[in-house]
Amino acid sequence: MEKEKIQEIEVNLLLDALFFRYGYDFRNYDRNSLTRRILKCLETCTFQHVSEIIPRLLYNGEFLTRLVHALSVNTTEMFRDPLTFAALKERVFPVLASYPFINIWHAGCATGEEVYSLAILLHEAGLLRHARIYATDMDEEVLAKAQEGVYSIDHLEKFEENYLQAGGIHQLKAYISIGYGLFRIDDRLRQQMIFANHNLVTDGVFAEIHLLLCRNVLIYFNATLRERAFRLFCDSLGRGGFLCLGSSESLPPPEWKLSFAPVAPRERIFRKMPLLEPPA
């Protein structure tokens, strides 16, 4: 018990150091999940205790990238939860088609597979040329990989299956080039994308958005942080804008349900109510 208490103190001090030195605020992330990731990071270092990380973090800026990457959760795949992408295509794209230009924000884009998945479906619907996709993450390492758009072919067969379930009308291979055990996303999909560092915890409104995706990020936030994120989402979305969450996420009750209407509840797609302001 005493060891666990000391470890809790060490984790608190590390998170304070990360915030006050660099502005990355993990203090309101789910603590159990975060502690597990810190201990996993500890195993890859030469340190025995969490507190030993603090001097390295404070005086070695290069260690910052390593730690932020270790604390971030970057699990993703192309067309993950394909029925969600199918619902976007069927329920959201027809509305987006009525706009002369479309702003889309994918917050917490990780290594980018889902961003490119969305771009493929937008292209097939004739909407990509009228869209700008902002793909953001706070982890510089995964953001660089997303911008590069190069992935291992190990899971390509699964991605192809996901693509078809999502309502793809061609073959996924029509949008990639393959070589040396890797595949690269076609440049025509990347032209409408802007990759940028953005932290949901500390940064503000990104742009006036028509479709905002933030999938499987909020499950790692505590209630305070989720509240902040939803306020940011509400401020970023234009009237009638769409919000797409992860399969295990939902609107926090009760007041936010007054600001969003369900579009495809099972797939966690909601629409900002056109005539209501966000809760005060």
Output the pLDDT for position 116.
98
CA angle 263, 264, 266 (to 5 degrees): 145
**Averaged over 4-11, what is the pLDDT?**
84
What's the token pair of residue 147? Answer: 């911008």
Q: Residue 173: beta bridge partners?
A: none
State yes or no: pLDDT of 274 exceeds 80: no
Report whether 17 contacts 57 (CB < 8 A). Answer: yes
β 209-214/237-245 pair status: parallel
> In the chain, pLDDT over 70 holds for what percent of residues?
95
Q: What domains does the chain contain, in order, with CATH numbers?
A: 2-71 (no CATH), 82-272 (3.40.50.150)
Residue 71 predicted with pLDDT over 80: no
More confident residue, 39 or 237: 237
> Both ends of the chain: CA-CA distance in Å?
42
In the DSSP assignment, the letter for residue 251 is P
**Of 157 and 17, the one with more pLDDT:** 157
Per-residue model confidence (pLDDT) at position 276 = 43
Of 251 and 132, more confident: 132
Query: How open is the CA angle 77-115-193, to the nearest 5 degrees?
Result: 150
Cβ pair 28, 224 in contact under 8 A: yes
